[in-house]
Amino acid sequence: MNLTKVLSFVFLLGALALGYFLWKGVDDVVEAEKRIALIEGAVIEKLQMLRDAQLAYEASNGKYASTWDSLKTFIQEGEIWLIQRTETTKLLDYGKEETTVTFDTLGSVPVIDSLFNERKFPDFDLDKLAVVPGSGGKQFEFFADKIERNSYMINVFEIRDPAPINPERRLNNNEKALRVGSRTDASTEGNWK
């Protein structure tokens, strides 16, 4: 074998190794992004479930739950009342209309059956609802309070991921962490939209 063939063979092996490492680097990044998207999708689903539970809690109690334990107790033992609203409109002699609204309580259903039934969430586990997916067992941060807006006291809540898996969400002390609700506004929206 002459020197040209040996060098060609060495360069071919080097090019193949370099190509493999380049492909592997790109593939690792793509797989990490898929994993992050999958975990964030699971976090968003849980935040939506917790938001629904908070809205039901607020409708029943007049305020939001400030701890996971109080919300969990409500989900286990609370009831949602079924109310029928009926409006009747009557035309008065002088052309005006008079509307009468009546409310009738039809009964109640347990919160867990109404919000988290098996048809909607077949693998629902109440004990794992507050656990952030992919976090190794960390729980969501809960906050609930009343704030003043235009001389009215309004209820606010925020449920937040304490340790985002996405490096972009960890910047500035988890400023962009996935959350639902707001500590400063009467919002029940999530920041993923």
pLDDT, tens digit, for every residue of 137-192? 888 988 998 888 888 889 999 998 888 888 777 777 777 888 898 888 888 888 88
Q: CA distances (Å), 189 to each of 11, 45, 47, 48, in order? A: 57, 13, 10, 9
Q: Looking at residue 147, what is its pLDDT?
A: 87
Domain limits for position 129: 43-78+110-181
Instruction: Tell me how far apart the alpha carbons of residues 121 and 46 are, in angstroms, rounded to a whole number.
Output: 11
Confidence of residue 100 (pLDDT cuts 50, 70, 90): very high
* pLDDT tens profile 40-59: 888 899 999 999 999 999 98
- The domain tally of the chain equals 1
Residue 157 lies inside a defined structural domain of this protein: yes
The answer to whether 140 and 71 have CB atoms below 8 angstroms apart is no
Answer whether residue 132 is part of any domain. yes
Nearest to 177 by CA among 128, 127, 126, 143: 143
The answer as to whether 1 is a domain residue is no
* Structural domain includes residue 68: yes
